[in-house]
Amino acid sequence: NVEAEPGVTGYMVEKALKEALGFSPKGDVFPIGHLPRQDGKAQRVFRRKIE
């Protein structure tokens, strides 16, 4: 699944990916902000030595 600007179609995304990757992935196109954020996003960890 992918979020795209208004007016971008699934065919346009599939064609661009086929040109870049050499195969045609299948998926759905949604308006920006429609899909929920991923919970598994990496977070930075800073270690501070306490002396």
Burial (CB count within 10 angstroms: exposed 0-12, middle 13-18, buried 19+), residue 7: exposed
How far apart CA 37 and CA 46 sit, in angstroms, is 24
Instruction: Please give the backbone phi and psi of residue 4, each rounded to the nearest 5 degrees, phi first.
Output: -145, 160
Residue ranges of E strands in the chain: 2-4, 29-31
Q: For 1-51, how does the pLDDT look when each residue is reduced to its tens digit (9 = 90+)?
A: 667 788 888 888 888 888 998 888 777 888 888 877 777 767 777 777 776
Residue 51 is predicted with a pLDDT of 67
Where in the chain are the domains?
Answer: 1-51
Could you give the C-alpha distances from 12 to 15, 17, 27, 30, 39, in angstroms and in order? 5, 9, 12, 13, 28
